[in-house]
Amino acid sequence: MTAQVRQVLRAKIVLAAADGLSNAAIARELKVSVNTVRKWRGRFAAGGLAALVDAKRSGRPRVYGPQVRVAVVAAATSAPPHPESTWSHRRIAAQVAGTVFAAISPSQVGRILADLDLKPHRVRGWLTRRDTPDFWQQAADVCNLYLSPPEGVVVLSVDEKTAIAARSRRHPGQAPRPGRVARQEFEYRRHGTASLVAALDVRSGEVLTETITRNNAATFTAFLDRLDAVIDPSKEIHIVLDNGSSHTAKHTKTWLAAHPRWHVHWTLDTPARLLAEPD
């Protein structure tokens, strides 16, 4: 809790006491212990507002100077020794010892980083792509298709989802009760993995799914065959795809060329050679 928050809490205790509330009532309202309320009411009564401020503490003098702290931050915000690795507290401590000739423990490195809210051991992926005109054209095409689809056509978004973890809860959940939220156990049983291919009808929200054993062009076009058979033959079909290998393979291009009512809209910057007519 920061010093400002602590002072606000103490002021609220004093103000509530001035309104005539009991210690127990103040504790319930501010969600603190009765002893905390009693402590700060007593200090205010004895010393006024000045007594609500924390007393100065001697504490242990700082062991590591600014140079060491800067070295820790410099290491944590730089590229790790190997591209596949991430910085650990132990690795940063070794790096600092070799930089400023000061021994520092991994736990102290952790405290310095925590104080600065730096987490070099955590990595989050982010989008990297070339900023090309083709990308924006394709993005606009897909967005326009979703927002203003042509009249009388079927718009489908199709993709595969592989290696889905099939799990079930080990214990049943418990319904909520007055004063208690619903409960759900965290343990589960594994039932292997499953792979799906799915088509979303953008207009109706209807989804057609099918389990698959292999994610290749033959499996993908077999799924397109089934879609083609159940969709009104008089309707044009617009399909949104990424440039996965099963979507851009020669086998799939041959299938699309043989079904002219199917029109592909790509979500990614797909190389022109992948979209060329089949040989």
| Same domain flag for 142 and 267 | yes
| Same domain flag for 71 and 157 | no
| Same domain flag for 137 and 270 | yes
Q: Where are the alpha helices (DSSP H) in the chain?
A: 3-18, 23-30, 34-47, 66-76, 89-100, 106-115, 133-147, 217-230, 245-248, 250-257
What is the strand order of the sheet 207-211 is part of? Answer: 207-211, 188-201, 153-169, 236-241, 262-266
Write down the residue that tokens 């095409």 correspond to. 141
Q: How far apart are CA 68 and CA 83, in angstroms?
A: 25
* CA-wise closest residue to 220 among 264, 261, 273: 264
| Same domain flag for 35 and 70 | no
HSE, side-chain direction, 13 A CA sphere, residue 191? 8
The answer to whether residue 214 is domain-embedded is yes
Last residue of a domain, one of 52, 76, 91: 52
* CA-wise closest residue to 41 among 57, 56, 25: 25
The answer to whether residue 18 is domain-embedded is yes
Neighbours of 238 (CB within 10 A): 20
| Same domain flag for 48 and 70 | no
| Same domain flag for 144 and 37 | no
Q: What is the CATH number of the domain that holds 249?
A: 3.30.420.10
Write down the residue that tokens 């967005």 correspond to. 143
Q: Residue 245's domain spans which residues?
A: 133-170+184-274
| Same domain flag for 141 and 264 | yes
The answer to whether residue 26 is domain-embedded is yes
CA distances from 75 to 44, 86, 230 (A): 47, 11, 60
| Same domain flag for 26 and 155 | no
Instruction: Give the CA angle between residues 51, 53, 59 to the nearest 5°.
Output: 115
- pLDDT in single tens digits along all 279 residues of the chain: 566 778 888 889 999 989 989 999 999 999 899 999 999 998 888 888 888 887 776 666 666 777 888 888 888 888 887 766 788 899 898 888 877 666 888 998 998 898 888 888 887 777 666 667 777 788 889 999 999 999 999 999 999 999 888 888 898 888 888 888 898 888 989 989 889 999 999 989 999 999 999 999 999 999 999 999 999 999 999 999 998 999 999 999 999 999 999 999 998 765 544 555 555
Neighbours of 10 (CB within 10 A): 22
In this prediction, residue 61 carries a pLDDT of 65
Neighbours of 112 (CB within 10 A): 20
The whole model's pTM is what? 0.51
In this prediction, residue 209 carries a pLDDT of 92
The answer to whether residue 43 is domain-embedded is yes
With residues binned 3-state (H G I as helix, E B as strand, rest as coil), the percentages for the chain, rounded to 5, are: 45, 20, 40
| Same domain flag for 9 and 37 | yes
**What is the residue type of 265?**
H
Q: How far apart are CA 23 and CA 6, in angstroms?
A: 18
| Same domain flag for 219 and 93 | no
Burial category of 221 from C-beta neighbours within 10 Å (exposed 0-12, middle 13-18, buried 19 and up): buried
Q: How far apart are CA 71 and CA 73, in angstroms?
A: 5
58 in Cβ contact with 64 (< 8 Å): no
The answer to whether residue 57 is domain-embedded is no
Q: How far apart are CA 203 and CA 134, in angstroms?
A: 26
The answer to whether residue 120 is domain-embedded is no
Q: Which residues face 193 on adjacent strands?
A: 165
Total domains in the fold of the chain = 3
| Same domain flag for 158 and 254 | yes
The answer to whether residue 123 is domain-embedded is no
* CA-wise closest residue to 96 among 65, 66, 63, 68: 68
Q: Which residues face 200 on adjacent strands?
A: 157, 207
* CA-wise closest residue to 243 among 272, 210, 266: 266
| Same domain flag for 237 and 152 | yes
